[in-house]
Amino acid sequence: MGSIMRMPEVLANATEAIITKWILPEGSKFSVGDLMAEVETEKALVEVPAETDGILGKYLAKEGAPVAIGSPIAILLNAGEGEAELARLLEESGVSNSSSIIETGAPRVEQIKKIEVKEMETAPPVQDVKVSNHDGRIFASPIVRRLARENGLDLTKFVGSGPNGRIVRRDIENSFKTGVGPQSTAKLNLQNPPGSFTDIPHTGMRKAIARRLVESKSTVPHFYLNASVVADEFLNFRSKYNEWAPKKISVTDLLLKASAAAFVDVPMANVIWTDSAIRKFEDSDISIAVATDNGLITPVVLGVNRLSLAQLNEVTSDLINRARAGRLKQNEIEGGSFSITNLGMYGTESFSAIINPPQSAILAVGAAVEKQVVLNGEVKICKIINFTMSVDHRAIDGALAAQWLAAFVKRAENPYWLAV
């Protein structure tokens, strides 16, 4: 017997998800583990594998449309099953049978393309009709008149391509591209009129990010601590390490190591708040903020305290690359007690970040800036990095957070132990 494939709960407590792409076409045979679809959750794109062998009989969910968790998304058939079983499962799913299964395994999309080609071959060609303004009247919109005036154009010389011979904006633009229209040495001014705007629809991920940030800021009692690190040794260590190491490490790698070491020094800061208890972690599982085209993703680097710098760089590079490609697994974006976000590469000297629930803190990293500082009674020019720590006051008190931040500064200003 066939079965109904339902939207899986790829994210804990999620109510809906979006199928961004069906990987297999209708009628395709598949085996256990074959990738069937890409599903967008609140945090990432998740690839959904097949749990059994079978044939993909029919899609029940369209690409790009939100689907409630547990709702039918596809009909799965076994070898030898056809229209009767498909109809039975469609009735069970509550979806009408508007089209039949392709039993041969040929993708339905190919049949659709053949029909479209046939229709195109028999359809009459569309003629490009233009109407001249020979009666002396000029039919043009205000923006066209303004463009003509700003660029020294004579609209009586134009043949409008709009309705009833109306001169439209593209006629002005085309006259400069083709050289057909009136010539002018003036540069065409195509600025948008005042008040112009474009609405960019929210993606599911952007909605989720907005909802989580509002929830965090409104329900988590944030407080903030600031510290500055004299970063010359920190940055010099990275440069010297990269001179001989087979794989170059990043500033983020060093920040992760320094943070994990600070948790070793102040273990009671490695906690999160739950409704019934404060949960303390033994390992340092730390999220890193990665900017992508779809929004901010925070993959978790597990066991930072157990990794060497070379191992850490390998893990972070892989996570960052797959985050930007939308190929993270769900378990790679969940967990951890702490996050690091770095805007220093954009020249931002300091900023405060919003905690990523259920984590208890996030460290915001600014740019390295040369400043005058007093060291051992002498004024020197040093590179200074500002750090701002946002903390959940329910889980971590001010004094405890201050101890952790002091330990982090000490580790960062004495970086040579990081190579151990």
The catalytic residues are 393
Whole-angstrom CA distances from 76 to 18, 73, 102, 186 are: 19, 10, 13, 64
Separation CA 71–CA 141 (nearest Å) = 50
Give the three-state DSSP class for 295.
strand
The helix or strand, by DSSP H or E, that contains position 200, with its residue range, turns out to be none
Q: Using CB atoms within 10 A of its CB, is residue 396 exposed (0-12), middle (13-18) or buried (19+)?
A: buried
Q: DSSP for 210-221, please give it.
A: HHHHHHHHHHS-
Chain position carrying tokens 């600031």:
226
The DSSP symbol for 254 reads H
Strand duo 54-59 + 66-68: pairing: unpaired
Chain position carrying tokens 């003036």:
186
Separation CA 57–CA 21 (nearest Å) = 16
